[in-house]
Amino acid sequence: MSDAAQLTINEVRAAAEAVKAAIDRHLEAVAGTSEEGDPAVVAAYEELAAAAITYDQLLYEVYDEVTPFEVPGDGSDGGYEGPDQPEAISVLIRRDYLVADPKRLRAQAERLDSTLTPGGGSASGVNAAIGVVFGEYEPDEIAARCEEFGLEEGDSTLWVSATEPSDPGEWLPEPFDSADPQLLICRFDVSEVYDEDPDAFDPEH
């Protein structure tokens, strides 16, 4: 066996060991927290996903075999077909909220915009309050403080896709039309359905 072949086989073994270690770290992080969205769990999840991808790729290259695992974040039917080194990426985020406390939402908006009618109870008043709040705060801050704004977190998803560099304002009229599952590099989904039934949602379908 040549030195190059031996090196490649050793790389596969090292990748397998990395997956095992990542599984242990992920389990340790999950077992050691009761906090939803714990950064340590998220980091361990991403590390495990990356290790699994590397092992799967090396296993296929060296032995022409694949693992029985579905790579977390691959939401396309045919797999990723984009470039290995994309020139640009698009980050598409959807977060759903329930308007759990309209009065609190309006109160927050009224503190930011004195032109809003205090205590307005109409649907248009709620819509105006939503516009004020989302116009003032970054989406990540609203996600972290949603209860303060009278909102309750629903499902969320984040897609990172390969794309071509674009001119300023080029895609703004139709910002989500270019979402191509075959250019999806990774995705991260958050939903209560996972707590109830881990198999209830499969992003592959």
Round the CA-based radius of gyration of the chain to a whole number and report it. Answer: 22
Neighbours of 30 (CB within 10 A): 13
The CA distance from 37 to 133, in Å, is 23
6: which residues sit within 8 A by CB, 6+ positions away? none
**Beta-bridge mates of residue 163:** 88
Of residues 113, 190, 96, 100, the one with CA closest to residue 149 = 100
| pLDDT tens, position by position, 100-112 | 999 999 999 999 9
Burial 81-115 (b: 16+ CB within 10 A, else e): ebeeebeeebeeeebebeeebbebbbbbbbeeeee
pLDDT band at 22 (very low <50, low <70, confident <90, very high): very high
The CA distance from 180 to 115, in Å, is 42
Q: Edge-to-edge strand order for the sheet containing 184-190? A: 88-99, 151-163, 184-190
Share above pLDDT 90 across residues of the chain, in percent, rounded to a whole number: 29
| pLDDT tens, position by position, 128-183 | 999 999 999 998 999 999 999 999 999 888 888 888 898 998 888 888 887 787 77
Q: The tokens of 68 are what?
A: 């029985």
Q: Do residues 41 and 30 lie in contact, with contact meaning Cβ atoms separated by under 8 Å? A: yes
Q: Is the pLDDT of residue 49 over 90?
A: no
Instruction: Answer with the residue of higher pLDDT: 171 or 188.
Output: 171
pLDDT of residue 75: 46
Give start and end residues of each alpha helix (H) in the chain: 3-31, 39-63, 102-112, 123-136, 139-144, 192-196
